[in-house]
Structure 1
Amino acid sequence: MPPEQHNLPLSNKSGPVFVLPFEIISEIFLHCLPDNHTIPDTSQPPLLLGRICSMWRDVALATPKLWASLSIHCTDTADVRLADLWLSRARGYPLRIEVDDHEGEESPNREILLETICRYSAQWQEVTLSVPLDALSRLRLEGPLPRLERLVIGSEASVSPIQLVTAFSDAPLLREVHLSLDDVGSVQPRSIVLPWAQLTSFTGHLLSAEECLYVLREASSLTECNLYHFIDGHPGFTMSLPLVLPLITKLRLEGSVEQNLVDVLQYLTLPALEFLELRTAPPSTENPATNPLLLGTLITFLPRSSCPLLEFRLITSRTLHTVLFQCLSAMPTLKVLDITWFSTSHHVHNTILQQLHTPSALLPHLQSLSVHYTTPPVLPYDDELIAMLFSRSNRNDTAGAARLERFSLSWNGFHLPYPDAQTLDRFKALLGRGMQIHLGPLDAPWI
């Protein structure tokens, strides 16, 4: 710590706080900061701290970490002008910067702000640049990014096709990337030069299935991959060879068109996968609930990968129970099952419950079961459900089955009849056995 920091005039004020050592006051100030990025606001720390008295202002200015986080919107001219002074106060401290500009149109403020933060690029540790990618293609950095660990870039704003974004190519510590492409497909991941092979976590928005597979092929060290809001790619796209990714343990796929998810999953082999989440859109006139293409693909994916899956989350309107049963049968190591239905059908609900009644028959290691309906279901609790829960509430050491520790049955809305006293007593008896239970509307459960 620089010597001048210890010579601040702390003893010439009255009151206990003014006789505290500089280090203590500085630490207290740091705990006043928000958990996320700091927004320039005179009513919030750190600017507020400098308005209390001259001594507090001296402490704030002598604490670089107070200024090492900045969140700023390009439309705020005053904040854009403040950015250089703010970041200079961080001195050489690693920086967390967030720039938000979803307008998509050229802006003098945007260019000024990007030029300003680029002067501090050697200090970047976590950077979010929610700006059109064509603006990022014009970034001019003064050298490599030796401290950059996490990068979030792009926005949904439409842009003109770009040649290359090369500003982030030399970042030896970069491990996590979030990439949002434009919503018309004018930019592709191939245009973003990144150290793909060293990444361990990737989140993509508005990529086609073909683009997702490109990223997965290049980022061979990934352990976590999240792919959201697919867009349609080239019709008839195929791959000649499957992708084997031995390090991925977490995968999330979400798309409004089920076929897009299928086009990714059918080519993947993930032998280390422990967490899988699949989400499709609710049914509509254009996207009716038909045979579950995605679950059908999952049936072949699971034995091909032979993965030790521990947690499976499914959000879908496809309710063909025979296919779902086949999928669950291929998950013998599963401990957590979480299903959200866009359907009120009770048929699948009952069919799966019947299979779960015998722990050794299906999902023998299941410890947590959650079922959620987006609309109030028909007859959500009955004797079949309660019998299954009692059967699963005791550990069966002989069969090697685990004890169900948590059960949740919830829905949106409050239009379902309250359970009768006998049903409620039976659920309470399960509580007495140590099972954690959520029963009823999502925001106001009865148990």
Structure 2
Amino acid sequence: MPFQHLHLIQGDMPHVRKLTFGPSLLPPATEPLHLFDHAPQLTSVVLTLHFLKSLYHLPWVQLTHLNGHFLFERECAEILRDATNLVQCTFGVCDTDSENPSPIPEVPVHNHLRPLILHLGDKYQPVVTLSQLFDGLTLPALRSLHVYESGITLDSLRDFITRSCCILEELRILDSAEEEGIYREAFPFIRNITVEAVVGHEATNDGDLEE
């Protein structure tokens, strides 16, 4: 939808439960738009390529399912800060926001989030380091984790599991420099571990992440 028409979707929307949202092009700089504030049944949102959190205010706290195709690491943290009732979340992470290089905000404990996917944003090839975002997460209910490895070490995974006290059942690592056996030795209590695109080795697939 063109940015200049977004004002047309404001108002009462009592029956909207799911939403795929994002303008067709990057909008000009403007004040944030408050959208879907009167959609009390809205719980599931897909954010497409040109979504910018600084420009759109959604009713984050009522959302339970979220899929962001292309978000700065800082935007991911801001969404997790505001959307505290998420049950399922997928983030396609692009590079850090060069125009806003300040540290990402603190993320509160998420007590309901069970599957989490952190991967490279759509059509995005450069290496993105996810360590700043990942090291700030505490997810006690997490059962499935699918993550791009860059910056996320075995030690940071150990710290995350210890900090969260979660019972992780599935772990999928993309573009890992370590072999699958290293993860299995480090985390023998995780039932399903999958390592893909291991450097210098063929990828292995022992399980699928719940989506």
Q: Aligning the two structures, in what range does the TM-score lie when normalised by the shorter sequence?
A: 0.7 to 0.9
Where 1:212 maps in the other structure, the secondary structure is: helix
- Once the two structures are TM-superposed, the CA of residue 242 in structure 1 deviates from its matched residue by 4.9
Cα distance between partner residues in 2 of 1:297 and 1:323? 14
Instruction: Report the equivalent of 1:245.
Output: 110
Q: Deviations over 1:118-161 (max 9, x none)?
A: xxxxxxxxxxxxx35x24533254x4001000000115733312
Identity of matched residues, %: 26
Match status 1:191 vs 2:47: no
Shift of 1:162: 3.2
Q: Which residue does the alignment assign to 2:12?
A: 144
Q: CA deviation at 1:325?
A: 5.2
Q: Specify the SS of the correspondent of 1:313.
A: strand
Of 283, 289, 293, the residue aligned with 2:151 is 293
1:138 alignment partner, SS class: helix
Contact 1:227 1:252 in 2 (8 A): yes
Please state which structure has a larger fraction of its residues in helix: 1
Residues 274 and 308 in structure 1, CA contact (< 8 A), matched pair in contact too? yes
Matched position secondary structure for 1:189: coil
Superposed CA deviations along residues 290-346 of structure 1, whole A, max 9, x for unmatched, are xx62124222111111101111111114227796356524xx1x2222221242338
Paired letter, 2:89: C
What is the TM-score with the length of structure 1 in the denominator? Answer: 0.40
Where do 1:120-199 residues align within 5 Å?
131-132=1-2, 134-141=3-10, 143-155=11-23, 157-182=25-50, 188-199=52-63
User: Which residue of structure 1 lines up, in the alignment, with residue 166 of structure 2?
Assistant: 307
**Aligned with 1:371 (options 194, 204, 211):** 204
User: What amino acid is aligned across from residue 294 of structure 1 in structure 2?
Assistant: I
Q: Is the 8 A contact 2:178 2:198 kept in 1?
A: no
Q: Quickly say closer, same or farther: Cα 1:213–1:340, change in 2 above 3 A.
A: same
Q: Counterpart in 2 of 1:264?
A: 133
Which whole-Å CA distance do the structure 2 matches of 1:174 and 1:211 have between them? 20
Structure 1: how far apart are the matches of 2:18 and 2:133? Answer: 25
| Distance in 1 of aligned mates of 2:69 and 2:132 | 16
Equivalent of 1:335, from 191, 195, 210? 191
What are the superposed Cα offsets for residues 247-278 of structure 1, whole Å, 9 maximum, x if unpaired? Answer: 1001000125341x212111010000001101
1:92-107 aligned within 5 A: none
Are 1:252 and 1:276, in contact at CA under 8 Å, matched by a contact in 2? yes
Task: Provide the secondary structure at the position in 1 that maps to 2:152.
Answer: helix
1:72 corresponds to: none
Distance in 1 (alpha carbons) for counterparts of 2:18 and 2:30: 23
Amino acid at match of 1:337: I
Matched-pair contact (CA < 8 Å) for 1:298–1:327: no
* SS of the residue 1:298 aligns to: helix
Aligned partner of 2:65 in structure 1 is 201
Following the alignment from structure 2 to structure 1, what is the Cα–Cα distance between the partners of residues 84 and 14?
22
Cα deviation code 1:361-407 (max 9, x no counterpart): xxxxxxxxx915xxxxxxxxxxxxxxxxxxxxxxxxxxxxxxxxxx6
Q: Report what 2:123 is aligned to.
A: none
Q: Secondary structure at the match of 2:71?
A: coil
Rounded to whole Å, the distance in 1 between the matches of 2:24 and 2:140 is 33
Root mean square deviation of aligned Cα: 2.7
Distance change >3 Å, CA 214–CA 326, structure 1 → 2: farther
- The alignment of Structure 1 onto Structure 2 pairs a total of residues equal to 199
Structure 2: how far apart are the matches of 1:220 and 1:249? Answer: 13
Q: Which runs of 5+ in 2 are unaligned?
A: 121-125
- Structure 1's unaligned 5+ residue stretches are 1-130, 281-291, 347-369, 373-406, 409-447
Relative contact order (C-alpha < 8 Å, sep 6+): which is higher? Answer: 2
Are 2:93 and 2:128, in contact at CA under 8 Å, matched by a contact in 1? no
Report deviation, 1:168.
Answer: 1.4
Paired residue secondary structure (1:173): coil
Residue of structure 1 aligned with 2:146, choices 277, 281, 285: 277
Q: Hey, what's the Cα distance between the residues in 1 that align with 2:156 and 2:24? A: 30
